[in-house]
Amino acid sequence: MKSVNTDFSYTSQDKEAGLWSFLRDIPHGFFLTVETGYPQQGAVTQDLYEQGWSGINITADANGYEMAQALRPDDRNIYAHVAESETISPQNGVAVLSLEAICRYYAPAVFELLYLGETVDKAAVIRSLQWQLHRPRVVLVQLEAADSLAWEALLTQHHYCFMQRFGHQRVYLAAEQLNVLMADLAQCRCDAATLAQQHEILKGEQARILNELQDVYGSKAWRITLPLRLASHYGKALWRQFRNRLAT
């Protein structure tokens, strides 16, 4: 199996507009990667790791495995191929495991991110997981140059919705998470409407108070008593100065 030597790197703009919008507020999430290449600074899983995440990295690339072991001590790094049938690869003697077998022992039932690398057999990996038992909230798929997307129907069957594409990556969201997002959006809209109503009420109160003050300032009584108010104000100031001088 061909391997790649870099995990996908995100610019700051990508992080704001793409996958990061789903993940950035989760302080200690869990990811599972399959053949996503070498961890490096700026790569999405490395950034998540530095943010406090941990997870499982599966690769049949010996160099990638050794690097993950060195750079990701809090992760579980597995040296294996992923396919539907569990066996030993005749090409290189590396174990072949199903994603379900790995998740059964090492992953929570619901976790934040499944990330499939460019060169992995995506259809085989998807078929090797029991999606009703293990549900990543987000699935990130890195595409090959001429990817037919034949595997996408398998994700759809398991109730994952395509959200967006940026670069050579496609983001899918579990349908149940989409429902949560829609509920949050509806609540935000409700809160915004309530705030708008309160703002209009406050504007009305402010206008009423200003009108009343203008009526007071323009009244005859206000003008007549102006000398008394000035005398009271400056008289108090003079009295304080006099009292301070007596004290010294």
Domain boundary assignment for the chain: 12-175, 184-247
Task: State yes or no: pLDDT of 53 exceeds 70.
Answer: yes
Distances (CA, A) of 54 to 71, 75, 108, 226: 12, 5, 12, 72
Task: State yes or no: pLDDT of 105 exceeds 70.
Answer: yes
Contact 127, 84 (CB under 8 A): yes
More confident of the two residues 242 and 40? 40
Task: State yes or no: pLDDT of 192 exceeds 60.
Answer: no
Give per-residue pLDDT as tens, 133-166: 999 999 999 998 788 899 999 999 999 999 888 7
Both tokens assigned to 185: 């959006």
3-state secondary structure of 118: coil
More confident of the two residues 237 and 17? 237
Task: State yes or no: pLDDT of 68 exceeds 60.
Answer: yes
CATH of 12-175 among 3.40.50.150, 3.40.225.10, 3.40.50.300, 3.40.50.2300: 3.40.50.150
Task: State yes or no: pLDDT of 61 exceeds 50.
Answer: yes
pLDDT value, residue 221: 62
More confident of the two residues 77 and 89? 77
